[in-house]
Amino acid sequence: MLAFVSEYPLLTAVGALLMLALVFGALLGYAEVRFKVEGDPIVEQIDALLPQTQCGQCGFPGCRPYAQAIADGEAINRCPPGGAATVQALADLLGREALPLEGGEAEPVKKVAYIREQECIGCTKCIQACPVDAILGAARQMHTVIADECTGCDLCVAPCPVDCIDMLPVQPQLKSWHWPKPSGPNAAFADRIIATDAQKVA
Amino acid sequence: MAKIWDFHGGIHPAEHKDLSLQVPLRQAPLPAYVVLPLQQHIGAPARPLVRVGDKVRTGQKIADRQAGISACVHASISGTVVAIEERPIAHPSQMQDMCIVIESDGQDTWVERAPLINWQSANAETLLAHIKGNGIVGLGGAGFPTLSKIQSGRAHQLDTLIINAAECEPYITADDTGIRHYPQELVTGIRILQRILQPQQTLIGIEDNKPDAIERLREATIGTNIEIRVVPTKYPSGGEKQLTYLLTGREVPSGGLPADVGVLCQNVGTLIAVARALVQGEPLVRRIVTLTGHALAAPANLEVRLGTPIDALLRVAQLDPQKLARLILGGPMMGFSLPNAQVPITKTSNCVIAGTLQEFPSAAPEMPCIRCGMCEQACPASLLPQQLYWFSKAKEFDKARLYNLFDCIECGACAYVCPSQIPLVQYYRFAKGEIRKEESEALKAERARQRFEFKQERQAREQAEKAARRQGKTASAVQMEPSVQKAAAPASTETLDLKKLKIQLAAKSVAAKKAQQALTQAQEAGASAEELAELTKTFQNAQQEQAQAQSAIAQATETPTATQSPSPDVAELKKLKIQLAAKSVAAKKAQQALTQAQEAGASAEELAELTKTFQNAQQEQAQAQSAIAQATETPTSTQSQSPDVAELKKLKIQLAAKSVAAKKAQQALTQAQEAGASAEELAELTQVLQEAQQAQSQAQAALEQQQVPKTQHIQAPPKAADAHLKQLSVQIAVKKVAFRKAEQAWQQAHSSQQGDLDVLEAHMLNAQEALHKAQAELATYQAQQSSASNKQVTQDGDQHLLKKRKIAVSVAQAAVRSAQKRLDNLSEIKDTPSEQLAAQQARLASAQAQLAQAQDALAQAASTRTQEIS
């Protein structure tokens, strides 16, 4: 053995490297099979960040298709219901730049569908349109919205033949109330400036 | 002296406690009304048990707890429930909440109290049930339901019960006053809790700034195993976690509760309430409230009924509105400002501070953080307030959580020491609120996602089911043809041909569709009549080609099946069926073309031509139908069946074909009428219709005749008389149909003021006459029959006769009724000739006479029968 090594150092080196390559190749091949990840985990993560309104305002039929599209390189600023917070979260997740929301509106207003029940004719069109089955009713019976399940996606408004669905902003509730953000030092400073300016003008 | 562990941080603000301790505890005067919010505690709001207008007595339960973490509410005065509505409550959001409003009757009559007299020997469950039933919540400030707190504590291994008497916040002296005035009740309350929890040690933690209270406690706890631990005055030693550390040296883990280290804390006021509830049977309807601040002339501690409006208490404490700068509910460190005093005292309101401007100057403007680190020095929870501030301000909530934002007890020590006057606690509260909101939204989003996915799944399933159903239908319609083919011949030249033909058909269909579209467009564009006619012709040609292609395919499809099928009959049948289908399509298309032409307002000649085409198509269809019927007959007849049955079937099929023809003729007539065809055309069509109807009725009659012998043949005792009877009734039925049709035709003609009214009417009257004749014949025959059977002496025969007479009577009645109806119809229609009316009246009279005869006969039969029986 030693004699062989000393006699053919080149061959030995090549042989050793070949052995190493084989061993690591086998290891990698095994790992690929053993630790295979089903599906694309990044799509799941993106989907978890989207607001799940299923409104289609991004141009995709639902949140998951948009998540898939983002994973494939689509822009991350196409979700108006998610607002800037969602864009930021997506930017953090994907390491992309947080672009301003497409369409302008900065802070989304939470809305909930409301059916003016005396005008409802019971056509069930809105029920078919609702992506989350949040509208209750039957043919020729009055329909109503389960406000807790409504995502405010707007999809029920267009199909209504009698235009009896309103999108109302969600009223603040005692349970969901929380302290507002303090205005901060700069705001106070700005207040003072404006106050003095106002005095000067007056 | 036991060891006291000092906790990190803490501050020493000015105490101002002596302000409210100058006078002893007083009872507040009974309020004129109380406003009792349904939620005075953490958890689910209570459910009202009373209605507006109900009379309630003090201590009566007016709202019950819900499942989970909740507490009930009791009436704090006697009187009338005047409202259950949203009222402003003491909350930093200044929002409203559901409240029960009780107007006092001034009597303060109590409900019958139910004390637990032998609490010393009662078991833990009984004691807990009483705590639960009396609506007791933690009176220290947070308002956590005591029952839930004890129960969660019992789930852990508890060894220490701590009585929180520290009362570390400035100004507040409610617990101090409670200890001084009710030491015995406090000790009773502690013993009750000891009984429930069986702790190894019971410690009272009290700050050294309450010497009087400490003295009272020492006196009251002589001879008990309750230890008093005096702790140095430092804010916030009254915090649950801080007090636990002070007394036991155990640090509550991050995100945990004192119960995790074997400790349960209870507030002094809560224990006094527990003792009152169990020993005196008094539910939680009052509490001690400190009224203090320099804007009050008479600051004091008052025992206040829950729900009392704060402004009533301020009057008792002689508020000077001139001096008042800020009204604070709770302590100066953790309380919040009240914009107005029209809110009620609740179970958690321990202090009302009416501060002057000197006491509470308006907040200095917030300055930028200078990173001095004083907040870190002051934080009793050993957090990094500065980092939390940065993260909260930048809305980096994930990082704020990483720095244990939720371990912040919002004591305000950091903000107190901040040289930049940054309202740090408000930043933390904001961050906590945002995080909770995000969490709830994430939960909602998750639910929405699940619902969305479920809906998609459901839709997919429904679609699959529909598709399966459709497939099943087509499979049965084609009679498994393709499967047979597939099994027999793999890719034969025939299938190739079939494919070619199918492609041709598709091309032809497209051509037909295009022609139709062109026609429609031309119509819409208002093309000239000639153009339209030309286009219509093209369209029809296309349709014909399409139909031809279809039949070609049908034949091609036939061929392989025919070669394989065992009997040539079946193949023939199939071919015929396919032809029929093709003819039906052709007929339908002809009809469509006709309708379109009518809508487009084509000329009368064109219309007539189209109608003819349509009728031809229909005839062809009918022929095909009868051919099929015959074909169907053939195999059936070959199969060892009686020729009668085969004949019968043939007749039936003929009848069906004739009915179809009649119906179609009627449709054509209606369409022509609608289209306003000329009178001659109408008359012609009417003729066709009548012929068809006659043919139909003939076929019907033939069928009936055929059926009768068959029935005879099959029925075991064939009676010629019965058969004749049946024949007669069948004839009547046929005549009835004929009459009805004639009448319809006449009415249509009448309403449209078209056609030969006189001819139609004569036809109708003839039909009626024939019907009446048939009816009369039947009646006479029945009479004969009955007289014949009358001779039979058996009772059965009599019964039979009676039945027959009865039937005769009802037939006559029906005749009278129909005559009457017809008369009514005639008289309704204006300008009916008077002769007609008279004739109809005569007919009615004769029908009535017949009825009378029949009734007489029935009466006779009945009398003979009764005689025979007697």
Q: pLDDT tens digits, residue range B850-869?
A: 888 888 887 877 776 666 55
Inspect the interface and report whether the beta carbons of A188 and B366 lie closer than 8 Å. yes
How many CB contacts within 8 angstroms connect chain A with chain B? 85
B437 in contact with chain A, both atoms CB, cutoff 8 A:
yes
User: What is the torsional sign of CA B273, B277, B278, B280?
Assistant: positive
Q: Mean pLDDT for chain B?
A: 81
Determine which of A66, A175, A181 to mutate to test the interface with B (most B C-beta atoms within 10 Å): A181
A47 in contact with chain B, both atoms CB, cutoff 8 A:
yes
pLDDT of residue B665: 72
Closest B-chain CA to A63:
B449
Inspect the interface and report whether the beta carbons of A151 and B448 lie closer than 8 Å. yes
Q: Is the pLDDT of residue B491 over 50?
A: no
Amino acid identity, residue B788?
Answer: A
A86 in contact with chain B, both atoms CB, cutoff 8 A:
no
Domain with CATH 1.10.15.40 in chain A: 41-94
A145 in contact with chain B, both atoms CB, cutoff 8 A:
no
Closest A-chain CA to B454:
A132
On whether the A111-169 domain is CATH 3.30.70.20, my answer is yes
Mean pLDDT of B156-183: 94
B507 in contact with chain A, both atoms CB, cutoff 8 A:
no
Lowest mean pLDDT among A184-188, B77-81, B184-188, B740-744: A184-188
Label residue B710 exposed, middle or buried (CB < 10 Å: 0-12, 13-18, 19+).
middle
Domain with CATH 3.30.70.20 in chain A: 111-169
Confidence of residue B601 (pLDDT cuts 50, 70, 90): low
β-bridge pairing B61-64 and B47-48: antiparallel
Choose among B96, B434, B448: nearest Cβ to A53.
B448
Mean pLDDT of B589-594: 76
Confidence of residue B487 (pLDDT cuts 50, 70, 90): very low
Q: Is the pLDDT of residue B797 over 60?
A: no
pLDDT of residue B281: 92
pLDDT of residue B794: 47
C-beta separation of B731 from B775 below 8 A: no
Lowest mean pLDDT among A110-114, B328-332, B740-744: B740-744
CB atoms within 10 A of CB A35: 7
In chain A, pLDDT over 90 holds for what percent of residues?
A: 32
A53 in contact with chain B, both atoms CB, cutoff 8 A:
yes
Q: Provide, as residue numbers in chain B, all residues whose Cβ is less than 8 Å from the Cβ of A196.
A: none
Please, which contacts does A178-182 make with residues 24 or more away whose CB atoms are closer than 8 Å? A178/B429, A178/B430, A178/B432, A178/B433, A178/B434, A178/B436, A178/B437, A179/B92, A179/B426, A179/B429, A179/B430, A179/B433, A180/B430, A181/B393, A181/B426, A181/B427, A181/B430, A182/B366, A182/B423, A182/B426, A182/B427, A182/B430
C-beta separation of A43 from A20 below 8 A: no
Mean pLDDT of B594-605: 70
In chain B, pLDDT over 90 holds for what percent of residues?
A: 46
Tens of pLDDT along B205-215?
Answer: 999 999 999 99
Mean pLDDT of B309-313: 94
pLDDT of residue B574: 62
pLDDT of residue B490: 44
Is A126 annotated as contributing to ligand binding? yes
Choose among B93, B433, B454: nearest Cβ to A174.
B93
Q: Provide, as residue numbers in chain B, all residues whose Cβ is less than 8 Å from the Cβ of A185.
A: 365-368, 420, 422
B86 in contact with chain A, both atoms CB, cutoff 8 A:
no
Q: Provide, as residue numbers in chain B, all residues whose Cβ is less than 8 Å from the Cβ of A189.
A: 365
Tens of pLDDT along A30-50?
Answer: 999 998 887 778 888 899 889
Looking at the structure, give the CATH architecture of the domain made up of residues B17-352: 3-Layer(aba) Sandwich (3.40)
Inspect the interface and report whether the beta carbons of B429 and A178 lie closer than 8 Å. yes
Q: Provide, as residue numbers in chain B, all residues whose Cβ is less than 8 Å from the Cβ of A48.
A: 442
Determine which of B451, B456, B458 to mutate to test the interface with A (most A C-beta atoms within 10 Å): B451
C-beta separation of B103 from B109 below 8 A: no
Closest B-chain CA to A131:
B452
Q: Looking at CA atoms only, how far is residue B428 from chain A in angstroms?
A: 9
Q: Is the pLDDT of residue B408 over 80?
A: yes
Return the higher-pLDDT residue of B629 and B619.
B619
Confidence of residue B562 (pLDDT cuts 50, 70, 90): very low
Inspect the interface and report whether the beta carbons of B434 and A50 lie closer than 8 Å. no
Q: Is the pLDDT of residue B678 over 80?
A: no
Residue-range domain boundaries for chain B: 17-352, 494-557, 567-707, 759-869
Choose among B91, B395, B451: nearest Cβ to A149.
B451
B371 in contact with chain A, both atoms CB, cutoff 8 A:
no
Inspect the interface and report whether the beta carbons of A131 and B455 lie closer than 8 Å. yes
pLDDT of residue A37: 80
The angle subtended at Cα B768 by Cα B767 and Cα B769, nearest 5°, is 90
Mean pLDDT of B478-487: 51
β-bridge pairing B226-231 and B263-267: unpaired
Q: Provide, as residue numbers in chain B, all residues whose Cβ is less than 8 Å from the Cβ of A188.
A: 365-366
H/E/C letters for each residue in B701-760?
HHHHHHHHHHHHHHCCCCCHHHHHHHHHHHHHHHHHHHHHHHHHHHHHHHHHCCCCHHHH
The angle subtended at Cα B88 by Cα B27 and Cα B301, nearest 5°, is 20
Confidence of residue B570 (pLDDT cuts 50, 70, 90): low
pLDDT of residue A80: 86
Inspect the interface and report whether the beta carbons of B430 and A47 lie closer than 8 Å. no
Mean pLDDT of B70-87: 94
Q: Is the pLDDT of residue B525 over 70?
A: no
B467 in contact with chain A, both atoms CB, cutoff 8 A:
no
Beta bridge partners of B291: B300, B352
Q: Looking at CA atoms only, how far is residue A181 from chain B in angstroms?
A: 5
CB atoms within 10 A of CB B631: 18
Q: Provide, as residue numbers in chain B, all residues whose Cβ is less than 8 Å from the Cβ of A132.
A: 448, 451-452, 455
Label residue B588 exposed, middle or buried (CB < 10 Å: 0-12, 13-18, 19+).
middle
Q: Provide, as residue numbers in chain A, all residues whose Cβ is less than 8 Å from the Cβ of B447.
A: 149
Determine which of A43, A52, A156 to mutate to test the interface with B (most B C-beta atoms within 10 Å): A52
Instruction: Give the Cα separation of B306 and B379 in Å (integer).
Output: 34
Mean pLDDT of A118-136: 91
Task: Mention the CATH class of domain A41-94.
Answer: mainly alpha
Q: Mean pLDDT for chain A?
A: 85
Q: Is the pLDDT of residue B592 over 60?
A: yes
Residues 6+ apart with CB under 8 A from B451: A131, A132, A133, A134, A149
Q: Is the pLDDT of residue B715 over 50?
A: no
Choose among B95, B365, B448: nearest Cβ to A52.
B448
